[in-house]
Amino acid sequence: MTTETKPPDDGATKVTQTSQDLPQQPQPPSTEGSGSDPDETPAPGTGALVTGEPPTEAPGGDDSGGAPAPVYSIYTTWEKRWIVVGGSLAATFSPLTAQIYLPALTVLARDFSVTDTQINLTVTTYMIFQAIAPMFIGGFADTAGRRPAYALCFVIYIAANIGLARCQTYAQLLVVRSIQSAGSSSTVALCQAIVADITTSAERGQYIGITVLPIVVGPSLGPVLGGVIAQYLGWRWIFYMLAIAAGVTLTAMAFFFPETCRHIVGDGSVRAHPVYHTFWQIIKNNSLHRRGRRAQAARDKVATDTNPPATADGPQRAASPAPSRPAPVKFKFTPPNLMGSIVMLFQKELGILLAYNSIVFAGFYAIATALPSQLSAPPYNLSGSQVGLIYLPVAGGSIGAAAVCGPALGRNYARHAARLDPSLATTSDGGGGKKIKVDRKHQADLSRFPIERARLEVGLPLLLLSAAVTAAVGWALRASAHLAVLCVLLFLLGVGLVGFNNTVNTLIVDVSPGRAAAAVAANNLTRCLVGAAASAAILPMIDAIGAGWAFTVFGATYVVFAPAMWVVMARGIRWRTEVKEKEERKAEKKKALDDEKNGIGGAGGGRIGEER
């Protein structure tokens, strides 16, 4: 065998060439000094915290060992913020719709000639559908995408509001009110799923806090807005106003809100079917295409003038290819798993988190339900609009919780990451200490990371605050304390309850990769059902044992079941590993069955071809 000898400067010259002279080619990973020595074993689960790795739910991945890991999302920090704010504004319709209707209940009972008990059934049916509908929409959103799910929700919601504004009988009101709930209730789950789509676990805490604001701000502002509209325009205009606001929101999302579902667009750079494009993207792409065609035509004209077609004496110049649109992406719809949310209720970790979070939030529903009757009676004697203003301290506390919990979750996550990999805490903070630096652009592998501790260590102090303040609110009402005292307690209640809810919601999303919408829908199911039970039970409890002991029961319940959170922190990693292994075995079994079917089909096809 002869070996061709190449010039000695061939390799050396190429090394010194710039990227403009030579296109960069992916190089195989070097085994020398690259950290791939088998004797050098990093701490379990820490490598991805430094270098990152493609998320398990991302479509595809880069298998080249030398190429850098892709970022989790192509969106900038401010783009992520605007996307989350847009989703949060859309999510406001769910709690706002539930509460804006309450000031008009007495008028509705009179107009439809029914009792107060019958008209209250419209509130009960609303909460039932508010619990059930997100299970279906959540599974649909995880497979078909966020934008189609939003479109479906708002179309149903707008049509239901118009129907409510024009209904003439009590039966129509009861049925259409349930349809209205089905349209609005899923927006909360979609909002939190969007956060999971575009943020890593290292930065997720600061965004989850924004998504919880509508759950508290909506009930705080709803009664005030509903009372004003019903007083000056009539109760039908409550629903007309909601339809108009929803139409404006849907139009804005159609123009500007991007698709974020990772099964469809990955990190945001995957080209999806045009059905997922915003109107702004369609307009922009068409404009760029027309501009490119004009530029190409101008270049071809210059080339023709400079190099005219050759005669028989010389070769003819090849014409530049005309620009063409990219090949269309085929739209593929995967039917949603409608039972996904139900299955999550029976998983060890998720089941405990969902059950305990619903118990804690039941206290918020109980207080929100009891305040109107307690404050409208002596010695307070507040009017309906004044009672609505009392909810504003809760909204203020929720805003404070969002501002505090987000950074706290991020710092605690970084602290645990530095424990696993001390090299992360090497940057000086300018004050003689060390600043922990964690990669926020790549999703870390959480299989061996104590994400439960990173989240719940922030939430448990807020839980204890909630337990104490819940009981204190009851005793303040029992003692007819000054309204200023009550407002301070409600502010602290907003900080504690909403802050703890932030941490649990973040953890639920963290441990449910690729199924965020279904997980949040399961959370919504348990929270609404338990909240409905608490709302129905609180007034009889107050009548039987007084406000002080009634709210003490709720606060004591938080403390009694709090050890469940320590169990989650101690066994969370083991439980997540069990779920992952079970899903892998299920996927392997399904793949084997598919391969067997394809093999039988291929053999049959070959025999038919041979016979022909």
Beta-carbon count within 10 A of 504 CB: 24
- Percentage of residues in the chain having pLDDT higher than 90: 20
Residue 379's pLDDT is what?
Answer: 87
- Which residues are bridge partners to 434 per DSSP? 428
Sorting pLDDT into bands at 50, 70 and 90, what band is 227?
confident
Per-residue pLDDT for 33 more than 90?
no
Residue type, 291: R
Q: Which residue has the higher pLDDT, 556 or 341?
A: 556
Average pLDDT over residues 171-190: 90
Residue 568's pLDDT is what?
Answer: 92
* Residue appearing with tokens 């479509």: 59
pLDDT digits (tens, 9 = 90+) for 387-421: 778 878 888 888 888 788 878 888 888 888 888 76
DSSP one-letter code for 482: -
Sorting pLDDT into bands at 50, 70 and 90, what band is 585?
confident
Residue type, 473: V
Sorting pLDDT into bands at 50, 70 and 90, what band is 448?
confident
ω before 379 within 30° of 0 (cis)? yes
Residue 335's pLDDT is what?
Answer: 56
Residue 460's pLDDT is what?
Answer: 92
Residue from 255, 259, 270, 249 nearest 145 by CA:
259
Do 527 and 365 form a contact (C-beta atoms < 8 A)? no
Q: Which residue has the higher pLDDT, 63 or 263?
A: 263
Least confident of 188-192, 223-227, 265-269, 316-320: 316-320
Per-residue pLDDT for 551 more than 90?
yes
Q: Which residue has the higher pLDDT, 222 or 436?
A: 222
Q: Which residue has the higher pLDDT, 128 or 478?
A: 478
Residue 600's pLDDT is what?
Answer: 54
Residue 471's pLDDT is what?
Answer: 94
Least confident of 49-63, 378-392, 498-512, 520-534: 49-63
Q: Which residue has the higher pLDDT, 166 or 115?
A: 166
Residue 590's pLDDT is what?
Answer: 78
Residue 74's pLDDT is what?
Answer: 84
Q: Which residue has the higher pLDDT, 274 or 108?
A: 108
Residue 285's pLDDT is what?
Answer: 67
Helix, strand or coil, per DSSP, at residue 43: coil
Q: Which residue has the higher pLDDT, 82 or 3?
A: 82
Q: Which residue has the higher pLDDT, 72 or 296?
A: 72
Give all domains of the chain, ordered by start, each with its CATH number: 77-270+337-425+441-586 (1.20.1250.20)
Residue from 302, 253, 202, 279 nearest 88 by CA:
253
Report CA 51 to chain centroid distance, whole Å.
25
Residue 469's pLDDT is what?
Answer: 94
Average pLDDT over residues 10-29: 40
Residue from 581, 543, 499, 523 nearest 131 by CA:
523
Average pLDDT over residues 296-309: 68
Question: Nearest 5°: phi and psi at 244?
Answer: -65, -45
Sorting pLDDT into bands at 50, 70 and 90, what band is 55?
very low
Average pLDDT over residues 560-566: 93
Sorting pLDDT into bands at 50, 70 and 90, what band is 557?
very high
Sorting pLDDT into bands at 50, 70 and 90, what band is 43?
very low
* Dihedral-angle region of residue 579 (phi above 0 means left; psi in -120 to 50 means alpha; beta otherwise): alpha
Tokens of 334: 């995967």
Q: Which residues contact 104 (CB under 8 A, 6 or more apart)?
A: 226, 230, 235, 238
Q: Which residue has the higher pLDDT, 476 or 145?
A: 476
Distance CA(385)–CA(377), nearest Å, equals 14
Residue type, 236: R
pLDDT digits (tens, 9 = 90+) for 347-358: 888 889 999 999
Residue 64's pLDDT is what?
Answer: 44
Per-residue pLDDT for 28 more than 60?
no
Residue 175's pLDDT is what?
Answer: 93
What Rg, from alpha-carbon coordinates, does the chain have?
Answer: 30
Question: Nearest 5°: phi and psi at 334?
Answer: -105, 120
Residue 442's pLDDT is what?
Answer: 59
Average pLDDT over residues 333-351: 73
Residues in the chain: 612
SS (H, E, C) 257-324: CCCCCHHHHCCCCCCCCHHHCCHHHHHHHHHHHHHHHHHHHHHHHHHHHHCCCCCCCCCCCCCCCCCC
Per-residue pLDDT for 138 more than 60?
yes
Mean pLDDT, the chain, rounded, equals: 76
Residue 444's pLDDT is what?
Answer: 61
Average pLDDT over residues 374-383: 84
Distance CA(533)–CA(503), nearest Å, equals 24
Average pLDDT over residues 510-523: 77
Mind giving me the DSSP string for 60-127? S----TTSPPPPS----HHHHHHHHHHHHHHHTHHHHHHHHTGGGHHHHHHHTT--HHHHHHHHHHHH
Beta-carbon count within 10 A of 271 CB: 13
